[in-house]
């Protein structure tokens, strides 16, 4: 049985151009199944029936900490592919995994911060320090305009319309959207662009808004590092990554009663279904607040 697995992996990497990472994943999943078959007394893949398959699924679910739905679905997919390979070469009759349904992948609800947590985070920066001022401005705009970290990294001065208090954002697929900004962002941006950014440029000449202390454009990875370090340096007990601020923006708008299609437009989502996941977060938020208000 192991010999057939070796042949399958060779076929996967040469004929189907599978990556080494994919091949390793298949090998782990299928080797685990072959070991189980040996324990069950199966001498060939033809000995595997629905009872063996269901026993194996139960084994995955109950061994150790048990596997997640996502991991189980991946294992079943690997074994279906393996059996198709065996069928095509006459090495096995039938595919006992065909009729087995994979668990549905549940959408992971996005992380978000409550309004007071956002205030606590944005209020922790020392605005008398130029670097801290830049960071506060950067994260304020990321939250207040619902921007992706890549959009903040790519933001240019020419994208900001101070007269109309809006920002033109180039999102995924080069899709353009217009997002307004509130007075605090206007104040922070104005001072940063006039009095702080010029000190950082060090002779660099470009239009990017957020720059490092050496005048280079900040990258998405650099912004993520600054965010993580800011949380740590200020002793905040909260988990924040760049998308958390964008998720919080969407959740707070919906909680405030903003129409979901307006939120969709502000986020730059092509499909309303992508935005609708935030309604679940918003409802959970309301339920938690309700339960807390009436707890005895």
Per-residue pLDDT tens digits for 28-49: 999 999 999 888 888 888 888 8
Residue percentage of the chain with pLDDT more than 90? 41
Residue 211, pLDDT score? 97
* Structure confidence at residue 218 as a pLDDT band (50, 70, 90): very high
User: In terms of domains, do 153 and 245 share one?
Assistant: yes
- Extended strands (E) in the chain: 160-161, 166-170, 176-180
Best-predicted range by mean pLDDT (37-41, 68-72, 274-278): 37-41
User: In terms of domains, do 74 and 121 share one?
Assistant: no
Distance of CA 2 to the CA centre of its chain: 37
Any domain includes 109: no
Provide the number of structural domains found in the chain: 2
Residue 296, pLDDT score? 47
User: In terms of domains, do 151 and 192 share one?
Assistant: yes
User: In terms of domains, do 37 and 142 share one?
Assistant: no
Q: Minimal CA–CA distance to 138: which of 208, 235, 215?
A: 208
Any domain includes 16: yes
Any domain includes 107: no
User: In terms of domains, do 14 and 148 share one?
Assistant: no
Of 255 and 138, which is predicted with more confidence?
138
Any domain includes 199: yes
User: In terms of domains, do 154 and 29 share one?
Assistant: no
Please check whether residue 209 is in contact with residue 157, taking contact to mean a CB–CB distance below 8 angstroms. yes
- Give the span between the Cα atoms of 91 and 89, in whole angstroms: 5
Average pLDDT in the chain: 86
For the chain, the straight-line distance linking the first and the last C-alpha, in angstroms and rounded, comes to 61
Structural domain for 149, as ranges = 115-293
Any domain includes 94: no
Q: What is the CATH number of the domain that holds 12?
A: 1.10.150.130
Tokens standing for 80?
């279906």
Any domain includes 145: yes
Contacts of 160 (CB under 8 A, 6+ apart): 167, 189, 209
* Structure confidence at residue 15 as a pLDDT band (50, 70, 90): low
Residue 208, pLDDT score? 97
DSSP secondary structure code for residue 195 in this structure = I
The side-by-side arrangement of strands in the sheet containing 176-180 is 160-161, 166-170, 176-180
Any domain includes 121: yes
Q: Minimal CA–CA distance to 145: which of 218, 48, 246, 221?
A: 246
Q: How many angstroms separate the Cα of 18 from the Cα of each of 11, 76, 88?
A: 9, 18, 18
* Structure confidence at residue 16 as a pLDDT band (50, 70, 90): low
Residues forming the active site: 148, 172, 243, 246, 269, 278
Residue 222 scores a pLDDT above 90 = yes
- Residues 110-123 have a mean pLDDT of 85
- Residues 160-175 have a mean pLDDT of 90
């Amino acid at each position: 049985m192991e010999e057939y697995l070796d042949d399958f992996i060779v076929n996967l990497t040469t004929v189907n151009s599978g990556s080494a990472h994919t091949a390793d994943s298949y090998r782990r999943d299928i080797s685990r199944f072959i070991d189980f078959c040996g324990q069950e007394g199966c001498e060939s893949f033809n000995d595997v029936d629905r009872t063996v398959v269901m026993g194996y699924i139960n084994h995955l679910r109950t061994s150790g900490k048990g596997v997640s739905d996502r991991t189980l679905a991946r294992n079943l997919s690997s074994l279906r592919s393996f059996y198709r390979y065996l069928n095509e070469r006459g090495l096995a009759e039938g595919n006992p995994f065909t009729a087995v349904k994979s668990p549905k992948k549940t959408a992971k609800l996005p992380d978000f911060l409550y309004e007071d947590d956002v205030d606590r985070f944005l209020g922790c920066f020392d605005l008398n320090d130029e670097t801290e001022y830049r960071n506060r401005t950067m994260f304020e705009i990321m939250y207040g305009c619902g921007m992706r970290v890549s959009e903040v990294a790519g933001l240019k001065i020419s994208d900001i319309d101070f007269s109309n208090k809006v920002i033109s954002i180039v999102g995924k697929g080069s899709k353009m959207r217009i997002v307004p900004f509130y007075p605090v962002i206007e104040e922070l941006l104005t001072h940063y662009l006039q009095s702080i950014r010029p000190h950082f440029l060090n002779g660099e000449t470009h239009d990017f808004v957020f720059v490092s202390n050496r005048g280079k454009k900040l990258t998405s990875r650099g912004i993520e590092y600054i965010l993580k370090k800011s949380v740590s340096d200020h002793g905040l007990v909260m988990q924040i990554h760049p998308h958390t601020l964008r998720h919080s923006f969407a959740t707070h708008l919906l909680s405030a009663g903003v129409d979901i299609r307006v939120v969709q437009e502000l986020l730059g989502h092509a499909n309303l279904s992508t935005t609708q996941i935030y309604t679940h977060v918003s409802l959970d938020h309301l339920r938690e607040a309700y339960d807390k208000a009436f707890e005895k």
